[in-house]
Copies of this chain bind each other. A is one copy, B any other.
Amino acid sequence: MEEKEISQAVIRRMPRYYRYLGDLLDEGVERISSNDLSSRMNVTASQIRQDLNNFGGFGQQGYGYNVKFLYEEIGKILGLNTTHNVIVIGAGHLGQALANYVKFEKLGFVITALFDVDEKLIGQSVRGIPILALAELPGYVKSHRVDIATLTMPKSEAASIANELVDLGVHAIWNFAHVDLELVDRDTVIENVHLADSLMQLSYNTVKHTKEKGAAEEPQSGR
């Protein structure tokens, strides 16, 4: 089947569709029109139709979308119809928080091991998931299927571990270190999560909003 290149902007919106459709399923909704989905998701109906048309449509003119079908199809598009084995490098607070997040497992992302250099952590476990020594990483990757590696260690070590992972054959990296890992390798898919960037964006919008509000509340002068 000929597949056209789908923009990352569309891909970024798909998990949100999946989330809303999951909520509709939980509410027992069987069909939904693109207009109803549109007002619920606060995007235009035409945007929804365009986005879904990238994958062949799914809607029947005048009948709206079958919620369960669309949910499952988007799940397949996102690769959620299969299990992904995930390891976490860095078993500090964030690594442990991710290992404790049962939601990921429900979506098919199964964390199988954490790795750390801290002797106090090695040998412990989080929700039954073992914390192993970082030195064991090569042996582990050779003897277990690892689909995704999550990096939660300090920025200074992230690039070298990412390169080691690529050499070991792990080609999907979920990076929480405060550095972009865009250029490691052409064959590797990287998703950067920059929590501090997100906080700065919130801060910008807050400051801007406060300014605008201040300006609006200012008594009109003769200028």
Q: Does A46 contact B (CB under 8 A)?
A: no
Q: Does A145 contact B (CB under 8 A)?
A: no
Contacts A11-B201, A93-B100 known; A193 to B196 CB distance under 8 Å?
A: no
Interface footprint category on A: 35 or more
A7 and B18 alpha carbons, distance in the complex (Å):
26
Closest to A107 in B: B196
Are A174 and B202 in contact, with the CB atoms below 8 A?
Answer: yes
Among B14, B187, B205, point to the contact of A200 (Cβ < 8 A): B14
Are A78 and B174 in contact, with the CB atoms below 8 A?
Answer: no
Report the minimum CB–CB distance from A206 to chain B (whole Å).
4
| Most chain B CB inside 10 Å of its own CB: which residue of A171, A195, A213 | A195
Q: Does A198 contact B (CB under 8 A)?
A: yes
Report the minimum CB–CB distance from A132 to chain B (whole Å).
19
Q: Does A104 contact B (CB under 8 A)?
A: yes
Among B12, B19, B198, B203, point to the contact of A79 (Cβ < 8 A): B203
A98 and B195 alpha carbons, distance in the complex (Å):
9
Report the minimum CB–CB distance from A48 to chain B (whole Å).
15
Are A191 and B180 in contact, with the CB atoms below 8 A?
Answer: no
Among B16, B107, B206, point to the contact of A199 (Cβ < 8 A): B107
